[in-house]
Amino acid sequence: MNGLPQPGLAALVLLPLAGCGLCWVLRAPKRILAVTWLASLLSALAAAPAVWACLHGRALQEAQGWLALDALSAFHLAVMYGVFILSSAYAQIYFDGGISSGELSLAQVRQFASLWLGSLAALTLTLVSNNLGMMWVGMEATTLLTAFLIIVRRSPDALEAMWKYLLICSVGIAFAFIGTLLVAASAKGLVQDPGQLLHWSRLMAAASGLNPKLLKAGFLFVLVGYGTKAGLAPMHSWLPDAHSQAPAPVSAVFSGCMLNAGLYCILRYGALCHALPQLADWSAGLLRLLGLLSISVAAVFILFQNDGKRLLAYSSVEHLGIIALGMGLGTPGIFAALFHTLNHALGKSVGFFCMGRLGQIYGTNDLRRLAGAARREPVWGNGLLLSLLAILGAAPFAVFLSEFLVLKAAVEAHRAVVVAVFLAGTCIIFISASRRVIAAAWGEPAAPARLPGPRAGLAATLLVALPLALLLCLGVWMPGPFRGALERCAAVLNGGR
Amino acid sequence: MSAWSELILILVILTNLLLVGGNRLTGLIRFAAVQGLLAGLLPLLVHSHAITARLIFLAALAVALKGVAFPLLLGRALREADIRREVEPFVGSELSTFLGISLLAFSFWLSEWLGIAQAGWLRLMLPVGFFTMMTGLFLIISRHKALTQVLGYLVMENGIFLLGVALVGEVPFIVELGVLLDAFVAVFVMGIAIHHINREFNHMDVHLMARLKE
């Protein structure tokens, strides 16, 4: 084997970049947007065989172990591609008006498309890296690329949100790198080849020999650093601003992929801690703590939230909290948390799709002024209502099931405080958010819409209906192979046990 | 050789204290440039017994970026924004210096706690790395201007660079390269952001940007 990466996992990173190049050749804005969708779809198809094999228990490694795919990364990869395909399709609808009216220039569309595909490449790199340093490079690249996605339409508010995002996340990422260095130092002498010092699989194999003190310090830094990217409280302060100011397709990708990728990085380090008996309980406890904190903070801010996009953003803080909480509750919790990752990504994407379109039509994100939206805009209005009910955990959507499984794991572990805070938080959020969104969908109209806008077509209906239908299916019936795949992901985190 | 490294590390500590206490932006950029230069040279001294082409290349790149490119970028942003003085920081000059010295003490304690016993002057490197990183963080948190925050980020990156040399010594080449380039792009991106902010708001006082809140 030589040093050059062979086609395969590396190609998954390069494919979106090729699409990126194509965007700079084309001259028609709508075609450029179509390229983003096609490139996402093609990347997903190219990845499908490898993802499928890994979800069935195989593990791939290439380029001297720099790139690798196992069940856990394959699962996250699949969720990411799903969200990207849906969001790129939605971007065609979302930007259609702006392109037709000339509000969006060719340069702006090009900028959006190339940053979009660049983010896809960077996120892919994060997920297929076996090397923790490489993973960090991918995550940092994601931060820098997505920052400009927030200001596709330039306004003072968007700039403010972008600056906060850029600075807070850069500092977070810097912390994550210090964590990476500390973990590397903890493995000194264990890995013979210095070039493979940060390979996760190598570290996992030698985990029992890691220096516990350095690993502990490293995990703390990583948790704060990547936790910032994952939007876990109290490092979440950038999140509501960035989510509310970014164009809706970007918000969907933020919530559905980027936050998950941040948490995914933490999980890799969590697995290292888990392999050391003296650190296993400590690291799980920290994950539970941050999870509960995120749920509580989200509950407080959702209580008085009338801005639809900010409400969805705080709901992301809540759900990432639930996922982190599940990750700290042993194998059944990890299983539930992974299931929840998929459910949240699907539901939240649809939520942002509907909210973004309604925001365009009504010229505001204030839920009170959207009253009666479901009568005026049946697809988007009802979509918003249903997707919010789904992510709030209404039965029989799959989110209900995964939240129930997290709760069950907490009860079985005899964690009374966790159960109490979890129930209180989710109940507060359910009541305050559903009240507002029901009024928005079916209340008495308060203000006239800003622009009539074209009726939502078949594509829009499918974009809203398909993910919701999938959530409904998974909520009622979990296919055996899917359960098996999730169990294999959880096993990766337990060191294959 | 170790005397030289020790001297450099002490100079880094000094630049940190100057950065914390200073309030003229042009001066701050110069201190950060000197610090970047010193940090970039350190790997050569650490591995003085085995200087490879790779090492020289990395050191040259680090010096070029941290000591020359970043300060130039920041200096241009500064001229564009037409400000000279960091007026009314959240934390005054004297208190800042005091806090800086406390951070230095804390860094030494933290390095002791981690307990990586290393021979000779390498002992000094870890605390100086932590101190530099915390100085950067302090600048980001306690200063008004977007430009000073970028400067803080830069200082933080210098600290991380030192930590990398102290903790691991030899991080894989591609990662080191990636980190340096990332820092470059980050500063570049922040520069562009400042340019936009300046045009849109006619200032870059971060505390006046407070429209987005609950």
Q: Hey, what amino acid is at B14?
A: L
Q: What is the pLDDT of residues A323-376, one digit of tens each?
A: 999 999 989 999 999 999 999 999 999 999 999 999 998 888 999 888 888 888
Asked if the Cβ–Cβ distance from A171 to B168 is below 8 Å, we say: no
Phi, psi of A60 (to 5 degrees): -105, 145
Q: What is the pLDDT of residues A70-93, one digit of tens each?
A: 999 999 999 999 999 999 999 999
pLDDT computed for residue B79 by the predictor: 81
Is it the case that residue B90 has pLDDT exceeding 90? no
Higher-confidence residue of B85 and A403: namely: A403
A293-334 pLDDT, tens digit per residue, is 999 999 999 998 999 999 999 999 999 999 999 999 989 999
Q: How many residues does chain B have?
A: 214
B149 min Cα distance to partner chain A (Å): 8
Residue A27 clears pLDDT 70, i.e. is over it:
yes
Is pLDDT of A277 > 90? Answer: no
Supply the pLDDT for residue B35.
93
Which of A139, A325, A142, A107 shows the shortest CA–CA distance to A233?
A325
- The more confidently predicted of residues A20 and B173 is A20
Distance CA A165, CA A144 (A): 10
> Cβ contacts (< 8 Å) between B212 and chain A: which residues?
157, 160-161, 164, 240-241, 244-245
CB crowding A359-391: b at 16 or more within 10 Å, else e: bbbbebbbbebbbbbbebbebbbbbbbbbbbbb
Preferred mutation among B171, B198, B202 to probe A, highest tally of A CBs within 10 A: B171
What is the pTM assigned to this prediction? 0.91
pLDDT at A2 over 60: no
Query: Looking at residue A1, what is its pLDDT?
Result: 36
State the average pLDDT over residues A467-473. 95
Is the pLDDT assigned to residue A7 strictly greater than 80?
no
Least Cα separation, residue A303 to chain B (angstroms): 11
pLDDT digits (tens, 9 = 90+) for B3-19: 788 888 899 999 999 99
For chain A, the structural domain boundaries read: 277-497
**B118: pLDDT confidence band, cut at 50, 70 and 90?**
low
Report which DSSP code applies to B205. B
Residue A497's pLDDT band, with cuts at 50, 70 and 90, is: very low
Q: How confident is the model at residue A60 (pLDDT cuts 50, 70, 90)?
A: confident
State the average pLDDT over residues B38-64: 81
Contact (Cβ atoms closer than 8 angstroms) between residue A84 and residue A40? yes
- Per the CB < 8 Å rule, is B189 touching A147? yes
Smallest Cβ–Cβ distance between B200 and the set A159, A161, A244 belongs to: A159
* Digit-coded pLDDT (tens) for B142-192: 887 788 888 888 899 888 888 888 877 666 666 677 677 677 777 777 777
pLDDT value of position A46: 92
pLDDT of B126 strictly over 90: no
Candidates B193, B122, B155; CA nearest to B33 is B155
Contact list in B for residue A185 (CB cut-off 8 A) is 116, 167-168
At A435-454, the pLDDT tens digits run: 999 988 888 876 665 556 56
Q: Which of A254, A353, A257, A371 is nearest to A313 (CA)?
A: A254
Task: Give the residue on A whose Cα is nearest the Cα of B152.
Answer: A171
Mean pLDDT of the region A259-284 = 93
